[in-house]
Structure 1
């Protein structure tokens, strides 16, 4: 399995508002961090972050660098009101599931 596959599925879950698929994709030991969140677990991540699916129309991966079971990428999110948001994220994958996400904000 390529590292990009679960990450593409992750973004697709937001684009399609498929929370069940996202829950299945995230490891139960998920650790999520961002400039506003310090090490959220899977439940806290879903409670805090899932609502963004109602704002985003699509994602475009701009740059993707992978190393075995981890990846760093930058992307552009296009919202329904046509705003463009650029961020970078670090992902760690274990057994096909996302176990770590670290977000670095760009322009909001």
Structure 2
């Protein structure tokens, strides 16, 4: 089962890169929900309306971590945009009966990082 949920997770990111909506629709359960810092458990229809258009600006995902745990996969990746922008996010995908039922996204940072190594971004100046 572990390999299967990792394969399902990988396939969902590949669908984004390939701009293959039919593929990702096949991977998402009918009761799929999505949560991020900007979205509070939106349903499948709202996800496709609001989030899927972002696939147009993505060219690759480089996986840093793919960690299975029961019915969940923790995924940390570096995303590559069409404009050369790179970013890092972590997501927790829940997979049941071969379908992704839930995605929690934690936004990361831009690469290169805005703060120098060993430093920080002063939020008073931001």
TM-score (norm: length of structure 2): 0.83
Q: 1:26 aligns with which of 28, 33, 37?
A: 28
Deviates more, 1:6-15 or 1:67-76: 67-76
Which ranges in structure 1 are unaligned for 5 or more consecutive residues?
none
Instruction: Check whether the contact 1:3–1:68 (CA below 8 A) recurs between aligned residues.
Output: no
* Aligned match of 1:44: 46
Q: Matched residue pairs, number?
A: 108
Higher relative contact order (CA 8 A, sep 6+): 1
Q: CA RMSD in A?
A: 0.9
* Bigger radius of gyration among the two: 2
Q: How far is 1:71 from its partner?
A: 1.1
**SS at the partner of 1:3?**
helix
Which ranges in structure 2 are unaligned for 5 or more consecutive residues?
111-126
Structure 1 segments (4+ residues) deviating >3 Å: none
Instruction: Check whether the contact 1:32–1:41 (CA below 8 A) recurs between aligned residues.
Output: yes
Q: How far is 1:92 from its partner?
A: 0.3
Structure 2 counterparts to residues 12-91 of structure 1, below 5 A: 12-91=14-93
